């Protein structure tokens, strides 16, 4: 069955970010998705940062129900609530505001934020790399420690 480009565009829009079409319609599914997705990303990024910069950027080892100090149950639940808040309230409001802005202004704003993001990322990596080079020994540097 053939479909017109406009129909395909609606299909893509309805599926949304990461194919969350059906997930976004259920508070429970969105909550569980937020817990799972964000915790997996946090765990993987924590491991990469430890290896790359020889430092722990956060440590949840003093929190209950943690995995290697990289993720903990409290933050996972907060990520779940955050996913519900962002996808059900914030994202629709932001999307409604953005469609009111002209395409040229949106492009300019996107370019400004993209340049700022690249500059900030480069500066952060440079500082982290310098910190790694100045640190002696085999023990990891702890950047942030969670408090109960």
Using H for helix, E for strand and C for coil, what is the string for 69-132? Answer: CCEEHHHHHHHHHHHHHHHHHHHHHHHHHHCCCCHHHHHHHHHHHHHHHHHHHHHHHHHHHHHH
The model scores a pTM over 0.85: no
pLDDT in tens, 107-124: 999 999 999 999 999 998
Per the listing, tokens 């109960």 go with 148
Contact 72, 146 (CB under 8 A): yes
Q: Distance between alpha carbon 147 and the CA centroid of its chain, in Å?
A: 21
Contact 50, 140 (CB under 8 A): yes
- pLDDT at res. 100: 95
Contact 31, 81 (CB under 8 A): yes
pLDDT in tens, 80-94: 999 999 999 999 999
């Amino acid at each position: 069955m053939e479909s017109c480009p406009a129909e395909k565009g609606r299909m893509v829009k309805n599926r949304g970010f990461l194919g969350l079409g059906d997930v976004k319609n259920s508070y429970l599914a969105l909550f569980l998705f937020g817990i799972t997705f964000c915790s997996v990303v946090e765990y993987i990024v924590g491991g990469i940062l430890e290896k790359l910069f020889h430092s722990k950027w956060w440590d949840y080892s003093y929190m209950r129900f943690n995995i290697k100090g990289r993720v903990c149950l409290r933050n996972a639940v907060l990520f779940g609530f955050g996913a519900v808040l962002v996808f059900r309230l914030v994202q629709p409001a932001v999307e409604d505001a953005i469609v009111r802005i002209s395409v040229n202004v949106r492009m300019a704003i996107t370019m400004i934020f993209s340049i700022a993001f690249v500059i900030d990322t480069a500066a952060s990596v440079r500082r982290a790399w310098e910190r790694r080079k100045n640190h002696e020994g085999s023990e990891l540097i702890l950047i942030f420690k969670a408090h109960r």
